[in-house]
Amino acid sequence: MSLVSQLIKSLQILPGVGAKSAQRMTFHLLQKNQQGAEAIAHTLLEALQKVKECPRCRTLTELELCRICASEKRNSQQICVVESAADIIHMEQATDYRGRYFVLHGKLSPIDGIGIKELKLDLLVEILAENPVEEMIIATGSTIEGETTAQYLSQLAESAGITASRLAHGVPLGGEIEYIDSNTLAHAFGSRVKI
């Protein structure tokens, strides 16, 4: 297999990148932006060597503790549990949340062999026991696995005497009712609030 073919195949491991996209990326990097390709290769190798999980929240960092866990300005009485490290970036950009995080790196899915041990929920239990957490914000997806994980986390919070809250699900801002799937609409209808 040629190096070009190997690169095309290698790029297809990225989420959302199919054969055609990988081919376009390969030819762009090799023909039009070799300097950019070298920068990507260098940065990727360095990241693979230096980036690891934060021992407290499990996000990705090259520091001893990530900047959020190391910050004295964060509210240690709130912890937001998310499925992936990428979720933290979205939360930080879209909200004014200033508490701490815990990254699951997945969701409970017995059929896929992902259980409590794989999500390192024992570490979350330790964190909850060591710190005076008052609220656990559960920010898992609305898939069946995400809902199962949220249910387990809420029971975990309850047994630790911590208030559990869940991100709201429902009709998106600017959304039209006729274009919303029936599961989302049913959930939104069941979770309606007084105004």
- The pLDDT of residue 188 is above 80: no
User: What's residue 140's pLDDT?
Assistant: 92
**79 and 35 both lie in a single domain:** no
Q: Within a domain: residue 82?
A: yes
Residue-wise pLDDT for 77-95, tens only, equals 999 999 999 999 999 998 8
Q: What is the mean pLDDT of residues 64-72?
A: 96
Tell me the CATH number at 12. Answer: 1.10.8.420
Q: Within a domain: residue 172?
A: no
Residue-wise pLDDT for 1-47, tens only, equals 899 999 999 999 999 999 999 999 999 999 999 999 999 999 999 99
Q: Within a domain: residue 55?
A: no
Counting the structural domains of the chain, the total is 2
**89 and 162 both lie in a single domain:** yes
Tell me the CATH number at 117. Answer: 3.40.1360.10
User: What's residue 193's pLDDT?
Assistant: 65
**79 and 154 both lie in a single domain:** yes
- The pLDDT of residue 191 is above 80: no
Q: Within a domain: residue 184?
A: no
Q: Within a domain: residue 11?
A: yes
- Rounded to a whole number of angstroms, the CA Rg of the chain reads 21
CA angle centred on 63, ends 80 and 92, rounded to 5°: 35
CA distance 8 to 6: 5
Q: Per residue in 34-69, is it b (16+ CB within 10 Å) or e — as a string?
A: eeebeeeeeeeeeeeeeeeebebbbbbbeeeebebb
Q: Within a domain: residue 119?
A: yes
Report the run of H or E that residue 79 belongs to, with start and end. strand 75-82
Q: Within a domain: residue 62?
A: no
Q: Which of 4-8, 130-134, 151-155 has the lowest mean pLDDT?
A: 130-134
The proportion of the chain whose per-residue pLDDT surpasses 90, expressed as a percent, equals: 75
Range of the domain at 24: 3-50
Q: Within a domain: residue 16?
A: yes
User: What's residue 84's pLDDT?
Assistant: 95
**81 and 159 both lie in a single domain:** yes
pTM, 2 dp: 0.84
